[in-house]
Structure formats: structure tokens, C-alpha cells
């Protein structure tokens, strides 16, 4: 099972050291961004819980699910493939850009890969910001940019064949 | 020198595999590589876009490739 994730802290947040029972130093990072690519189901509440924060005035969540048709043609299932390490770094860049632009307090982006059935969740984006309007804008920016830059590919399977989505003009 | 290229999505179907070894001259750029790929596999020209990532970063046509680089063919992405 793949579960790769990356967490980064904003530079303006302090980190604190904690010492475990063996006297070894661990750096405890105040995590602000949560990125995951998983080949097992992803859950909106994981992203929502991550962004929940007392300093937040509002949070928005986008949940992308597998649709049962494309241009009227019945879809049976989907398959997502990813160049995982680069996809994680591109998703992190998007979260960092959104954080800078809309002062997000926290951003969580989870993307599923592998075979997905109709109705299953493919992507979740949750953002928390001090004010309501910026939460909507930041969330929209994240999903729009993810679709343009993150190396993940969707293959749609129909009753009579399959196609790599958006590969051709 | 020999470079080993990784392919994902429709690029795997086009090269009929997930990796491609290519003999290139020193100084070969991303742009040169794209032209070579299109020459060997004309289906690449039919794609909406053809981008090359080197060491997990998108690179422009002028970028010069080295033997140890991780080179990946990025066909049009469609996540989300």
C-alpha cells in the first residue's frame, strides 16, 4: 500500500523541541500543510480535522468524486496513475502558494490513485483561512491548479474501451 | 551517454513500456529529447502537450540533460 505524505511548516511558525524518554531530541514541527497520495480510500473528515483550528474563521472543502458518465457515455470505473514523488512536491507547491496568497492557516490535499468505482472519492481539498471569502478562493485555486500541474493521469473505462482523459486536443 | 526515461499515462502506451533507454550526445537538451521522441514515436505529436520533468521538476526546452538525471515524460495531466 502506498501512503506517502509530506508535511511542511510555515517559516513564520516556531518549532519546538521535545525530548523523549531516551533523551533523544525530536523536532516537533507545527504542521500547516498536509499532502497525501493513497491507493486506498480517502476520507473528507481526515482533511477537515487537519485544518480545524481555533484561529480559523472558515474552512472550505472540495470533494471530487467519480462520475458515472462523460459526455453521455457510461463510465464503468476509473484508474488514476501518478508519478508519486513529483505529484507530492507539486501538490505541496500549490498548498504553499494558496497559503501565501490567501493567508490560509492550514491546507490539506489528499488524492487517491489506483482503481476507483463510480461514486468513490478521488480528491479532497480542505483549506482554512481567517475569513470566509478567501477560503472559497484558496480552495478553488488549489483544485484548478492541481488539474493543470500535478502529474496524475486519469483513465476512464467504458463498456467498449478506455481513454486517457484529456490526452488529446 | 545513455539516459533512461520513465513514462506514465498515455506515454506508456505510446512507447509500449514504462521505460525507454536512449543514447544521446553530451549537451542534449529537453527540446532535443522531445524532437527525438516525436521522431521515434509520432503519436507524441498528437498529444495536447508534451512536457519533460527532470529530477521531479518541470524543465524548459533549453535545459541540458545529464546521465544521472531522472527523466520523465509527462503527457497531459488529468488528476482531480
pLDDT tens string A123-159: 999 999 988 999 999 999 999 999 999 999 999 999 9
Cα of A147 to nearest chain B Cα, Å: 5
Domains of chain A: 3-164 (3.90.1170.40)
Cα of A4 to nearest chain B Cα, Å: 15
Contact A113, A38 (CB under 8 A): yes
User: Using CA atoms, how far apart are residues B48 and B74, in angstroms rounded to an integer?
Assistant: 11
Q: What is the mean pLDDT of residues B74-78?
A: 98
Question: Residues of A at the B interface (Cβ-Cβ below 8 Å)?
Answer: 64, 80-83, 85-87, 89, 111, 122-123, 143, 146-155, 164-169
Reported as a single tens digit per residue, the pLDDT across A29-45 is 334 999 999 999 999 99
Contact A25, A19 (CB under 8 A): yes
The domain made up of B2-74 is a member of CATH 3.10.20.30: yes
User: Does residue A12 have a pLDDT over 50?
Assistant: no
Query: What pTM did the predictor assign?
Result: 0.86
Reported as a single tens digit per residue, the pLDDT across A63-114 is 999 999 998 999 999 999 999 999 999 999 999 999 999 999 999 999 999 9
User: Using CA atoms, how far apart are residues A32 and A8, in angstroms rounded to an integer?
Assistant: 6
Amino acid at each position: 500500500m502506498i501512503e506517502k505524505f509530506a508535511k511542511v511548516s510555515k517559516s513564520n511558525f516556531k518549532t519546538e523541541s521535545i525530548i523523549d524518554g531516551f533523551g533523544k531530541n525530536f523536532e516537533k514541527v507545527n504542521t500547516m500543510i498536509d499532502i497525501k497520495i493513497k491507493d486506498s480510500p480517502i476520507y473528507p473528515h481526515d482533511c477537515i480535522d487537519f485544518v480545524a483550528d481555533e484561529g480559523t474563521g472558515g474552512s472550505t472543502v472540495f470533494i471530487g468524486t467519480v462520475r458515472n458518465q462523460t459526455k453521455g457515455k457510461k463510465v464503468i470505473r476509473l484508474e488514476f496513475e501518478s508519478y508519486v514523488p513529483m505529484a507530492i512536491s507539486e501538490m505541496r507547491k500549490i498548498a504553499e502558494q494558496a497559503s501565501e496568497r490567501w493567508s490560509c492557516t492550514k491546507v490539506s490535499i489528499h488524492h487517491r490513485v489506483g482503481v476507483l468505482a463510480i461514486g468513490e472519492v478521488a480528491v479532497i481539498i480542505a483549506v482554512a483561512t481567517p475569513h470566509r471569502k478567501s477560503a472559497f478562493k484558496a480552495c478553488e485555486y488549489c483544485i484548478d491548479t492541481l488539474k493543470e500541474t500535478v502529474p496524475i493521469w486519469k483513465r476512464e473505462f467504458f463498456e467498449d474501451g478506455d481513454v486517457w482523459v484529456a490526452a488529446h486536443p | 551517454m545513455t539516459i533512461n526515461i520513465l513514462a506514465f499515462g498515455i506515454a506508456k502506451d505510446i512507447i509500449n513500456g514504462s521505460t525507454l533507454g536512449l543514447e544521446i550526445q553530451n549537451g542534449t537538451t529537453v527540446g532535443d529529447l522531445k524532437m527525438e521522441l516525436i521522431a521515434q514515436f509520432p503519436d507524441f505529436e498528437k498529444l495536447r502537450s508534451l512536457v519533460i520533468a527532470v529530477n521531479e521538476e518541470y524543465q524548459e526546452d533549453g535545459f541540458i540533460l545529464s546521465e544521472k538525471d531522472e527523466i520523465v515524460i509527462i503527457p497531459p495531466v488529468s488528476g482531480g
